[in-house]
Amino acid sequence: MEANKPGGILFVLSAPSGTGKTTVANLVLEVVDGLRKTVSHTTRKMRDGEESGVDYHFVDEARFRSMIDAGEFVEWAQIFGNYYGTSSREIELSLGRGQDLLLVIDVQGAASVRAMDWAQSCSIFLLPPGMDELERRLVGRGLDSPENIRIRLEAARGELSHQGEFDHKVINDQLSRAVEEVENIIQAERHRRRGQ
């Protein structure tokens, strides 16, 4: 898409793993009209309760690599051993139609999207209240081994140092308050850019 073409706004929500971005994003999608989450491609295994085409497009590594080679991703990253990527086609079609999108991606991916200098984008960094609480959430989520949790906490320290590069910061302490804050940012951006 041309940088200045009028269209939808690309909202990017990012945070270290375990902060609560999936939880916050799902609640934001319930309360904000006209906002759609993009469905990423990933090579990681489907978890219980996930649906193909809804949570992710689940593909094998060969397919993912062929998509990289064909230039089909706006950004992609290897995160904790699996590949994740956002397809350009999905984003361009939606934004071109004036559809606002919510991209829920890791901190590396958010940096790639920012580097593209999309005119109509807005980045939000979600912060954990502290490292102890982040560890509690990772343990409480019950998806990762102690070794994986250690790796995620280590990565989080580096990722937190990038928070200043985002347009907005929101602390995910009390969930309802964090959701409301993200909602307010989205509505304010819409108003500012489109008088909506």
Burial of 45 (0-12, 13-18, 19+ CB in 10 A): exposed
106: its two tokens: 């890791």
- Residue nearest ligand ADP by beta-carbon distance: 20
Cα–Cα distance, 61 to 67 (Å, whole number): 10
- 185 binds ligand ADP, rule: CB under 6 A: no
The least distance separating ligand ADP from the CB of residue 57, rounded to whole angstroms, comes to 18
Cα–Cα distance, 159 to 106 (Å, whole number): 9
- 37 binds ligand ADP, rule: CB under 6 A: no
Q: Interface with ligand 5GP by CB under 6 A: which residues?
A: 17, 21, 40, 44, 75, 77, 79, 84-86, 104-106, 108-109
The least distance separating ligand 5GP from the CB of residue 106, rounded to whole angstroms, comes to 4
Cα–Cα distance, 196 to 187 (Å, whole number): 8
Residues that bind ligand ADP (CB under 6 A): 15, 17-23, 137, 140-141, 172, 175, 178
